Structure 1
Amino acid sequence: MPPRTLRNALIRALTVLVMAAVGSTAAVVVGAAPAHADGCYTWTRNLSTGTSGEDVRQLQIRVAGWPGYGGFITIDGVFGQQTHDAVVRFQSAYGLGADGIAGAQTYSKIYSLQDDDCTPVHFAYSELNTCNSTWAGGNVSAATAKANALKVMWRLEALRHALGDQPIRVTSGFRSQACNAAVGGASDSQHLYGNSADLGAGSHTLCTMAKEARYHGFNGILGPGYPDHSDHVHADIRASRLWSASQCF
């Protein structure tokens, strides 16, 4: 038997013996193996309350859609109570052990939910920008507008999952000043910052989406009953809260 084949056979035999000896404990060890990412981002350590860094910031972007009713997570790279609670809700939503510690299982789920460009699998930059593919011409730099749109998309992914994983139709996202003026948008519209998405009726009614959006990190929610919003729900991540959809809530 060639040396490599013999070595592999010995490894398999040893594995069987160890699993038989320690039972379920072996399964736990195997299951705890480090998760490997796609082409976007790889976490290399467990994160919990008190940790900080770029890896925390990347985590916050992906769990910011799970802050609870009226909650909002600041993407600052500091793992505080809000981040802990959002991780717990994310874990619960996807059937994971809800301990508030981001580790291999949490990362594996995130990896399964994102594409190589960091966008969630059910949304794309093209959906959030039908106006100007360069992301230029708004009220912030192109890079900032695109980064803001990514934060919006992860909140939309949370909203989509909470509503039974049925498609959500995005009708408008980032707008340059020219595009915003052409559609009659407000001069300080959140669309100019890449901070918002307009949602059209489809799998869900407008009011269903407006009501559920209150649980998923949207400080701005404008829907039926608000002027010029009878045919869509506007959801954004502005700094202060503005919820107005009198026909819904």
Structure 2
Amino acid sequence: MAGHSKWANIQHRKGRQDAKKAKFFTKAAKDIILAAKAGGGNPDDNSSLRLAIQKAKAVNLPKDKIENAIKKGTGEIAGGDIIEVVYEGYAPGGVAVLIEAATDNRNRTVAEIRHLLGKNGGNMGEAGSVSWMFNKKGVILLNEEQYSEEQVMEVGLEAGAEDILHEDGMFAVHCAPTDYMAVQSAFEEAGMEYESSEMSQIPENMIEVDVETGRKVMKLIDAIEENEDVQNVHVNADFPDELLEELAG
């Protein structure tokens, strides 16, 4: 679990840089379309849509594009023919890879993902081959320089958080999907700003990798994340501190 916490922090830092890239607009819009499609276009009644809109605003997706994405999801305008798919496979070193995508062409996307895995030392797995190694959780990161552990625990645990990890200058608050919005709202109501907040796939067990293998895994992750259909990539690699410090720098 500790390795995931460090990697989550690195992903967050990468995300702030990547947010400037146009492809993240596409991914944010797809999140909104899917959320509206599943639960309706009113964010007050649809917590998934509320979260998708928050993430879209974080990458500066224009208001009109947010509104259009909602309308696509509810069927008011064309363009909402998007489905969620999950691909499973392995990266170098036997590291498990779980890839969440949103696409309007399943055949195209699976071919592209298979190609990217093979090109970067990985391979596609069968459905269920690695998903059992991960648990879906809400993950909220707060900066330890802003809040004490006591503050985070008091608010988080009272709202239903399951675990609070302290690592790499961050408090990582984990909670069940059903409690996610309640925990996030509790921090907001307490006036506590979080660095990031998202649903994630937490690995049950980590695989330790050396620096060389870790770089290969990172290269694979970067290549897959470049695909505009890919929403999230999760791995169970416990990356060496040396490599994480290199990335953080």
| TM-score of the two chains, using structure 2 as the length reference | 0.28
Indicate the structure with greater helix content.
2
| TM-score of the two chains, using structure 1 as the length reference | 0.28
Higher Rg: 1
Indicate the structure with greater strand content.
2
